[in-house]
Amino acid sequence: MRRLLVHIGEDPDRQGLRETPRRFMEMLKSLTEGYRQDPKELIAGAIFPVEYDQMIVVKDILFYSLCEHHILPFFGKAHVGYIPNGRVIGMSKIPQIVEHFSKKLQLQENLTDEIADFLMETLAPKGVGVVIEGFHLCMAMRELQKDAWLMTSAVKGIFRRDPRTRAEFMQLIGRR
């Protein structure tokens, strides 16, 4: 970070910047803690047997991540749904799963898939749907200067095979 500050024409020894390299490293460590955390530990003890077989949706989950191409933030909302197959996960765990996978250098497309794949693997539900709406500062702040939202989706199992299931999920999260 000191070299970067010098490279852009700053003096890393001036009063306002003296602690910046340390603060930057602490911030980066916090924003990338997904590399040092096992997502299976997040959900330990939070999977419960049920007879319920209808769709469960947690929507409008705020997330913050870093674009792996520019190391600039992107943020937005994730919507996650699944149909249980004899087991459910504690509702608070879904936002924690989203947060875990967002705390790495990411592409939004990969983030969407990683969340869906993790839920399919750990819960073995009938299906999973994940939709992410992301605003990317690498597009908004750089030469493009475009304010546009990227929408990505991952549909697995019955969400992929049955258009009615996918349509119900999209309706529940407020999308067509």
Tens of pLDDT, residues 103-123: 999 999 999 999 999 999 999
Domain assignments of the chain as residue spans, ordered by start = 1-31, 39-172
Nearest CA among 80, 76, 90, 75 for reference residue 58: 80
Provide mean pLDDT across the span 81-94.
97
Question: Model pTM?
Answer: 0.94
DSSP letter string over 46-110? -EEE----S-EEEEEEEEEEEETTT--EEEEEEEEEEE-SSEEE-TTHHHHHHHHHHSSEE-HHH
Q: Which two tokens stand for residue 93?
A: 């765990």
pLDDT higher than threshold 90 for residue 130: yes
> Among the CATH numbers 3.40.50.720, 3.50.50.60, 3.30.1130.10, 3.30.390.10, which is that of 39-172?
3.30.1130.10
pLDDT higher than threshold 80 for residue 68: yes
Residue 147 pLDDT: 82
pLDDT higher than threshold 70 for residue 90: yes
Residue 31 pLDDT: 96
Nearest CA among 64, 68, 71 for reference residue 4: 71
What angle (nearest 5°) sits at the alpha carbon of residue 63, between those of residues 57 and 68? 125
> Cα–Cα distance between 39 and 60 in angstroms, integer?
21
Nearest CA among 153, 144, 168 for reference residue 72: 144
> Cα–Cα distance between 112 and 84 in angstroms, integer?
19
Split at pLDDT 50, 70, 90, the class of 164 is: very high
Split at pLDDT 50, 70, 90, the class of 144 is: confident
3-state helix, strand, coil in the chain (%, to 5): 40, 30, 30
Split at pLDDT 50, 70, 90, the class of 176 is: low
Split at pLDDT 50, 70, 90, the class of 146 is: confident
Split at pLDDT 50, 70, 90, the class of 142 is: confident
> Cα–Cα distance between 129 and 115 in angstroms, integer?
9
pLDDT higher than threshold 70 for residue 30: yes
